[in-house]
């Protein structure tokens, strides 16, 4: 018995504040049903007191109170228990099925619409509480589509009953035998009814806070696993993951660590992992500062590009790419001193290649797993340029040089042959001495 309660409590905690961005539908069904069983029990006790103490609620219609009590004990409580048991069964066999969740949402709002009609949707807190609590809770635990379908049913019933009341077909707020006010004060029963009903608002606020925290964690994870610019589009609903790749002119960046294999042989796995993570974190931080799209980390290699998904001008893309590369090389000098002081005798040195050209940019992969990347001959060319670079240096292609030559000092390094291209590619080395200027000689 005790272990079962612990399991239910763990489920509630996981559903409201778990590690995943959204609980499974079956989990949400169990949590909602468990909460509503407790709520229904509280309402039942409340109504039972009113029925056994006639003086406690003189403003209420006793016939309606008796009907409400019968509905709670004979329909609502058994249905919520059935939802709880069905949800527990669904968690084992159909955890992602939405059919039971849809049924629960419809019952939640139909029940809420009934009580709202009995109490008067425009004079009692129950209407607002049902709409607010139901919306927040079901959106958080069951998802947008399921909650929206339930809300639609709720509003249709409210509109229908209101129209019937205005036409004289139904009485308004039949639960009240007379106004719940005396001498300018709310009756005691109505006051405590409002306090009890308002507790649902507190629950909804807790759900909202937990959902916000879950969303924040999910957002942080998205930004860690996909490029920052793409993450912003995903969170804004501007990227669906189904867009076809398109041809775009981008500036591509490749880098790798020189002598990484030798360094790996001399270091313990834990030290190597910490060192590599330190290096990649610093490079990613610099890339973010320059508005780059960090495409991927492959071992000690980094692929970055400018011009997608957000684009400015070709010149701006190239300038930011080269300046980012210089900032990275400068940071590597500082990191080398830090690592040497920590006892690492062979600090990392990197080589960088940059190229500007047209590539196919977009979502690549399968239906279940997609990556945002840039592919094509220009991507391969950038990797070859990087392979020709000396440690601690930055090499750029002629197309990139043409865009940055007025502001970035560089010198020609000759031409290279690239597999897959029928022509030689002229490359340049970026230099830090401003007096050298850029020359085509």
The three state secondary structure string of 298-365 is: ECCEEEEEECCCCCCCHHHHHHHHHHHHHHHHHHHHHHHHHHHHCCCCCCCEEEEEEEEEEEEEEEEE
| 398 Cβ neighbours under 8 A, 6+ residues apart | 425, 426, 427, 428
What value does the mean pLDDT take over residues 395-407? Answer: 93
CATH code matching the domain that covers 243-436, chosen among 1.10.3860.10, 2.60.120.10, 3.30.70.1230, 3.50.50.60: 3.30.70.1230
Question: Left (φ > 0), alpha (ψ -120 to 50) or beta: where does 77 sit?
Answer: alpha
pLDDT of residue 358: 92
Residues β-bridged to residue 257: 350
Is the pLDDT higher at 205 or at 114?
114
**CA-CA distance, 388 to 401, in Å (whole number)?**
16
If residue 255 lies in a helix (H) or strand (E), which one and from where to where? Answer: strand 246-258
| Domain ranges for the chain | 2-225, 243-436
Q: What is the pLDDT of residues 254-305, one digit of tens each?
A: 999 887 767 666 777 777 778 888 888 899 889 988 988 888 887 778 999 9
Q: What is the pLDDT of residues 54-90, one digit of tens each?
A: 787 777 888 988 999 999 999 999 999 999 999 989 8
b/e code 314-338 from CB counts within 10 Å (16+ = b): beebbbbbbbbbeebbebbeebbee
pLDDT of residue 61: 86
**CA-CA distance, 355 to 66, in Å (whole number)?**
80
Is the pLDDT higher at 327 or at 197?
327
Rounded to whole angstroms, the maximal C-alpha distance in the chain is: 103
Query: CB–CB of 325/430 below 8 Å?
Result: yes
Structure token pair of residue 205: 């606020």
Q: What is the pLDDT of residues 315-344, one digit of tens each?
A: 999 999 999 999 999 999 888 888 888 877
Looking at every residue in the chain, the average pLDDT score rounds to 80
**CA-CA distance, 239 to 228, in Å (whole number)?**
13
**CA-CA distance, 198 to 220, in Å (whole number)?**
34
What value does the mean pLDDT take over residues 224-240? Answer: 62
Residues β-bridged to residue 370: 365
119-133, 210-224, 347-361, 417-431, range with greatest mean pLDDT? 347-361
**CA-CA distance, 132 to 277, in Å (whole number)?**
45
**CA-CA distance, 271 to 288, in Å (whole number)?**
26
34-48, 100-114, 333-347, range with greatest mean pLDDT? 100-114
Query: What are the distances in angstroms from CA 284 to CA 168, 294, 393?
Result: 69, 7, 18
If residue 42 lies in a helix (H) or strand (E), which one and from where to where? Answer: helix 25-52
Q: In this model, does residue 5 exceed pLDDT 50?
A: no
What value does the mean pLDDT take over residues 367-387? Answer: 82
Query: What are the distances in angstroms from CA 59 to CA 5, 11, 106, 260, 298?
Result: 40, 41, 31, 82, 73
**CA-CA distance, 286 to 268, in Å (whole number)?**
27
Closest CA to 316 of 372, 374, 400: 400
Structure token pair of residue 26: 């079956």
pLDDT bracket for residue 395 (50, 70, 90)? very high
137-146, 158-167, 426-435, range with greatest mean pLDDT? 158-167
Would the pTM count as exceeding 0.85? no
Structure token pair of residue 228: 């920052």
pLDDT above 90: percentage of residues in the chain: 26
pLDDT of residue 18: 44
Residues β-bridged to residue 294: 304
């Amino acid at each position: 018995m005790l272990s079962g309660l612990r399991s239910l409590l763990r489920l509630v905690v996981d559903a409201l504040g778990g590690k995943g961005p959204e609980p499974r539908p079956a989990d949400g069904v169990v949590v909602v049903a468990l909460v509503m069983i407790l709520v229904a029990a509280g309402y039942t006790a409340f109504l039972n007191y009113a029925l056994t103490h006639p003086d406690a609620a003189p403003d209420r219609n006793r016939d309606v109170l008796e009907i409400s009590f019968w509905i709670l004990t004979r329909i609502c409580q058994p249905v919520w228990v059935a939802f709880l048991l069905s949800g527990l069964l669904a968690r084992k066999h159909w955890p992602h099925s939405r059919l039971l969740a849809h049924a629960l949402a419809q019952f939640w709002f139909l029940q809420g619409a009934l009580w709202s009609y009995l109490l008067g949707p425009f004079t009692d807190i129950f209407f607002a509480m049902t709409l607010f609590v139901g919306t927040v809770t079901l959106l958080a635990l069951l998802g947008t589509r399921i909650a929206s379908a339930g809300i639609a049913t709720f509003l249709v019933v409210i509109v229908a009953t209101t129209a019937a009341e205005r036409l004289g077909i139904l009485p308004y707020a039949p639960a009240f035998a007379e106004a719940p006010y005396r001498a300018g004060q709310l009756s005691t029963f109505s006051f405590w009814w409002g306090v009890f009903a308002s507790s649902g608002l507190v629950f909804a606020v807790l759900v909202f806070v937990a959902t916000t925290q879950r969303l924040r964690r999910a957002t942080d994870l998205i930004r860690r696993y996909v490029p920052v610019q793409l993450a912003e589009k995903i969170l804004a609903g501007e990227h669906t993951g189904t867009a076809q790749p398109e041809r775009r002119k981008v500036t591509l960046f490749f880098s790798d660590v020189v002598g990484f294999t030798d360094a790996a042989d001399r270091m313990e796995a834990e030290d190597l992992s910490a060192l590599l993570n330190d290096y990649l974190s610093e490079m990613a931080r610099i890339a973010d500062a320059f508005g780059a799209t960090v495409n991927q980390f492959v071992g000690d290699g980094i692929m970055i590009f400018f011009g997608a998904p957000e684009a400015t001008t070709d010149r701006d893309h190239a300038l930011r790419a080269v300046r980012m590369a210089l900032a990275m090389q400068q940071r590597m000098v500082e990191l080398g001193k830090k690592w040497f002081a920590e006892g690492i005798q062979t600090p990392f040195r990197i080589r960088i290649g940059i190229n500007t050209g047209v590539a196919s940019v977009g979502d690549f992969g399968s239906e279940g797993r997609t990556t945002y990347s840039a592919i094509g001959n220009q991507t391969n060319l950038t990797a070859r340029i990087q392979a020709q670079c000396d440690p601690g240096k930055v090499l750029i292609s002629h197309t990139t040089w043409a865009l940055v030559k007025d502001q970035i000092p560089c010198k020609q390094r000759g031409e290279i042959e690239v597999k897959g291209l029928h022509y030689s590619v002229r490359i340049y080395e970026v230099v830090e001495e401003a007096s050298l200027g850029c020359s085509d000689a």
